[in-house]
Chain A
Amino acid sequence: MGSTNSTLLKIPNVEVLMRETGFSPAHIIRLHDRFKALDKEGRGYLCPQDFGAIKELAMNPIGDRIIGAFFSPGKETVDFHTFVKILAHFRPVDKDRPKEPNSPEPINSRSNKLKFAFQLYDQDKDGKISRDELLKVLRAMLGMQVTEEQLESIADRTIQEADLDRDDAISFEEFRKSLEKVNIDHKMSIRFLR
């Protein structure tokens, strides 16, 4: 590691990565450092235990789900590219990006941020948050501090208000609609320095 150029050269397909995610070269290098710091055995990829070793994450009530978001179904490892792409969801929205009709939606768009949050709830990836899945999230966030009945009543109320087509589950569209007024950009973004 030395000058920015020599480090960037060591990362394969870094141009594509920067274009897709919108991270600057300096960000990529710092994320690469972080990736290497987490990858203690230097294998070139991360597995769930490497994330589990981050103490602050282990204390987070939904820490496991966040870790799960990095691993596509069936995969046990995450490489640097995927790592960066997932973190790109949390870049602040680019307000001055021109709206090109043919280019793919940027990873950090409002919609994609919502999709990321949606998958934290929807663990079986069937496109809907069932009552059961909602209960599981509530249990994770509240632990043993509330009774089963209280959880059920919270879940019931939430579904009642968000579920517009009365199928007792919350689809992505219903999820999006219920969060219309929330400032997603502010809540689901991290300020990257420099």
Chain B
Amino acid sequence: MGPFMSPFNNLLCMLLGISFTVWFTLLLVFIIVPAIFGLSFGIRNLYMKTLLKVFEWATVRMERGAKEKNHLLYKPYSLNGIIAKEPTSLEEELKGIRRNGSSRDLNGSASTTTGPSPSSSEFEMSDTFYFCRRGIESIVDDEVTKCFSAEELESWNLLTRSNYNFHHISTRLTVLWGLGVVIRYGFLLPLRLTLAITGVSLLVVFTTMIGFLPNGSMKNFLSEKVHLMCYRICVRALTAIITYHHSENKPKNGGICVANHTSPIDVIILASDGCYAMVGQIHGGLMGLIQKSMVKACPHIWFERSEVKDRHLVAKRLSDHVKDKSKLPILIFPEGTCINNTSVMMFKKGSFEIGSTVYPVAIKYDPRFGEAFWNSSKFGMVNYLLRMMSSWAIVCSVWYLPPMSRQEGEDAVQFANRVKAAIARQGGLVDLLWDGGLKRGKVKETFKEEQQKLYSKILVGTQEDRSRS
């Protein structure tokens, strides 16, 4: 057994050794070194264009296949909506009922049925119809549920996970899909994992080392470089192809950077183009380790879990940081939770009360290459990262919007809404009034009270008129 196996052993060892060396050299040359210097070979853009062509071809094949079998291709409901919602308000509706179909003829008295006269607004049994219809409409189709599930695609991108619409896959397509699986899991995933591990470990090691230096400009300079380098490696670990627009508006020291939130990757995307002070809760485990070492190199704002509830403490720490002009701009996601990148939900006003300049940033992902939205009720963090790393790529656009400050006579909520509208407009997202907290929490009673107040104003407001006359 000995002499027979050893030449093979040697050969095997040699082959493995060579392939590893080649692998790592390629990695270093094409990915890590450009990451350190912030350059790019343009490989990722080429990759993206090729993929797009393949997807288009795949969709055309499927549509042709479906037509041949004379079946209708199904378009996802969330794109078009099941029903046409009437935009009438409660007031208009109730006035309409009284004008047209009131059962009270009121002895033929003239004025009541011609114009919307408030004194005839008394309770009608048909008033419930409005609420009933609205209720049924929301059962069939509501805005909020749609925000918290991944956007559905018009065409298929060869990932099974987004193949909920297309069933007509010919043999050629199946082969293509199989090839896709092999490439993604066999080649891309290990590559990305290697990069991710490299990036994270370099971050931890270097920031700890920098932590030993005395505070000063040298430390800040090195810390910047190290952070940028590691985030760039992580960006490549996800094959994220990012286009930055309007870099002249990049956030400056002493400001607060505000962005819409779709996934934890948002942080990596923004931080690979500029240095920010992160804000967040300290976690345990690996995440906590990374956080602790990062804060050694430059001042990030991490809160203990108990401190998070104390809004004054949070506000104080943030404003202290912002007042120090030598510290980096703070990065905050005011929605408070991950939204599916088709709309922007209510911004929490805390960060807008601090009074410094706000630099809005809009992030829009292109879902054709991989769904970046983290549906935390469906997937845990590890599962999510795995899905990210086995997608084709993460393609997104980042727009740096011009800085905004709170104007005279504007309160924090109005300012927050103004910033939100600007971000929604730039990113092509729908601007919603709903609170992202609705993802998990129950609807506050105050919303129901609003409806009740409105209705009672229509009815009871008129009671006062009657008692006066």
Note all chain B residues with C-beta closer than 8 A to A175. 125
A27 to B80 CA separation, bound complex (whole angstroms): 12
List which A164-190 residues lie within 8 A (CB) of chain B: 170, 175, 178-184, 187-190
**Binary per-residue interface labels of chain B (112-147) against chain A in the complex, 1 for a CB within 8 Å, 0 otherwise:** 000000000011011111111111111111111100
Name B129's closest neighbour in chain A (CB-CB).
A187
Among A38, A61, A184, point to the contact of B452 (Cβ < 8 A).
A61
A38 to B77 CA separation, bound complex (whole angstroms): 14
When A143-B453, A193-B82 are in contact, do A183 and B101 touch as well, CB less than 8 Å?
Answer: yes
A158 to B10 CA separation, bound complex (whole angstroms): 97
3 nearest interchain CB pairs? A2-B167, A3-B71, A143-B452
Q: Is A106's CB within 8 Å of the partner chain B?
A: no
When A141-B455, A150-B463, A154-B122 are in contact, do A33 and B131 touch as well, CB less than 8 Å?
Answer: no
Among A2, A57, A157, A180, point to the contact of B135 (Cβ < 8 A).
A57
Q: Are the CB atoms of B135 and A3 closer together than 8 Å?
A: no
Q: Are the CB atoms of A188 and B71 closer together than 8 Å?
A: no
A3 to B73 CA separation, bound complex (whole angstroms): 5
A194 to B450 CA separation, bound complex (whole angstroms): 34
Minimum C-beta distance from A123 to chain B (A): 13
Q: Are the CB atoms of B145 and A138 closer together than 8 Å?
A: no
- How many residues of B are in contact with the other chain, CB < 8 A? 66
Note all chain B residues with C-beta closer than 8 A to A6. 71, 167
Q: Are the CB atoms of A1 and B129 closer together than 8 Å?
A: no
**Binary per-residue interface labels of chain B (422-439) against chain A in the complex, 1 for a CB within 8 Å, 0 otherwise:** 000000000000100010
A138 to B455 CA separation, bound complex (whole angstroms): 11
Q: Are the CB atoms of B131 and A2 closer together than 8 Å?
A: no
Q: Is B206's CB within 8 Å of the partner chain A?
A: no
List which B68-82 residues lie within 8 A (CB) of chain A: 69, 71-74, 76-77, 80-82
Note all chain B residues with C-beta closer than 8 A to A34. 77, 82, 140-141
Note all chain B residues with C-beta closer than 8 A to A180. 103
Note all chain A residues with C-beta closer than 8 A to B77. 30, 33-34
Name A138's closest neighbour in chain B (CB-CB).
B123
Name B143's closest neighbour in chain A (CB-CB).
A56
Q: Give me 23 A-to-B residue pairs in the complex whose CB atoms sit less than 8 angstroms apart, sorted by A's number.
A: A1-B74, A1-B167, A4-B71, A33-B76, A33-B77, A38-B145, A58-B448, A60-B135, A61-B455, A66-B136, A87-B140, A117-B126, A137-B128, A141-B128, A141-B131, A142-B456, A143-B449, A143-B456, A145-B457, A146-B460, A161-B104, A181-B101, A192-B82
Name B71's closest neighbour in chain A (CB-CB).
A3
Minimum C-beta distance from B277 to chain A (A): 34
Q: Are the CB atoms of A161 and B103 closer together than 8 Å?
A: yes
Q: Is B315's CB within 8 Å of the partner chain A?
A: no
Among B66, B127, B134, B459, point to the contact of A60 (Cβ < 8 A).
B134
Minimum C-beta distance from B455 to chain A (A): 6
A29 to B73 CA separation, bound complex (whole angstroms): 12
Among A31, A56, A188, A191, point to the contact of B142 (Cβ < 8 A).
A56
Q: Are the CB atoms of B167 and A3 closer together than 8 Å?
A: yes
Q: Is A120's CB within 8 Å of the partner chain B?
A: yes
When A62-B128, A181-B103 are in contact, do A54 and B74 touch as well, CB less than 8 Å?
Answer: no
Q: Are the CB atoms of A187 and B139 closer together than 8 Å?
A: no
List which B16-36 residues lie within 8 A (CB) of chain A: none
Q: Are the CB atoms of A7 and B132 closer together than 8 Å?
A: no
List which B29-78 residues lie within 8 A (CB) of chain A: 66, 69, 71-74, 76-77
Among B131, B145, B166, B457, point to the contact of A62 (Cβ < 8 A).
B131
Q: Are the CB atoms of A2 and B125 closer together than 8 Å?
A: no
Q: Are the CB atoms of B460 and A145 closer together than 8 Å?
A: yes
Q: Are the CB atoms of B142 and A55 closer together than 8 Å?
A: yes
Q: Are the CB atoms of B131 and A60 closer together than 8 Å?
A: yes
A123 to B460 CA separation, bound complex (whole angstroms): 25
Q: Are the CB atoms of B133 and A188 closer together than 8 Å?
A: yes
Q: Is A107's CB within 8 Å of the partner chain B?
A: no
Q: Is B83's CB within 8 Å of the partner chain A?
A: yes
Minimum C-beta distance from B358 to chain A (A): 28
Q: Are the CB atoms of B448 and A143 closer together than 8 Å?
A: yes
List which A111-145 residues lie within 8 A (CB) of chain B: 116-117, 120-121, 137-138, 141-145
Name B73's closest neighbour in chain A (CB-CB).
A3
Name A62's closest neighbour in chain B (CB-CB).
B131
Note all chain B residues with C-beta closer than 8 A to A27. 82
Q: Is A90's CB within 8 Å of the partner chain B?
A: yes
Q: Are the CB atoms of A55 and B123 closer together than 8 Å?
A: no
Q: Which of A53, A138, A145, A192 has the largest number of chain B CB atoms within 10 A?
A: A145
Note all chain B residues with C-beta closer than 8 A to A58. 442-443, 447-448
Q: Are the CB atoms of B138 and A56 closer together than 8 Å?
A: yes
Note all chain B residues with C-beta closer than 8 A to A66. 132, 135-136, 139
Minimum C-beta distance from B132 to chain A (A): 6
Among A33, A54, A145, A161, point to the contact of B138 (Cβ < 8 A).
A54
Q: Is A37's CB within 8 Å of the partner chain B?
A: yes
Q: Is A5's CB within 8 Å of the partner chain B?
A: yes
Q: Are the CB atoms of A145 and B139 closer together than 8 Å?
A: no
Minimum C-beta distance from A180 to chain B (A): 7
Q: Are the CB atoms of B123 and A154 closer together than 8 Å?
A: yes
Q: Are the CB atoms of A59 and B443 closer together than 8 Å?
A: yes
Known: A142-B452, A162-B125, A190-B136. 12 other contacts (CB 8 A): A2-B167, A31-B140, A37-B149, A53-B145, A54-B145, A56-B144, A87-B140, A90-B136, A157-B123, A181-B100, A181-B103, A182-B103
Q: Is B97's CB within 8 Å of the partner chain A?
A: yes
Note all chain A residues with C-beta closer than 8 A to B165. 1-2
Q: Is B451's CB within 8 Å of the partner chain A?
A: yes
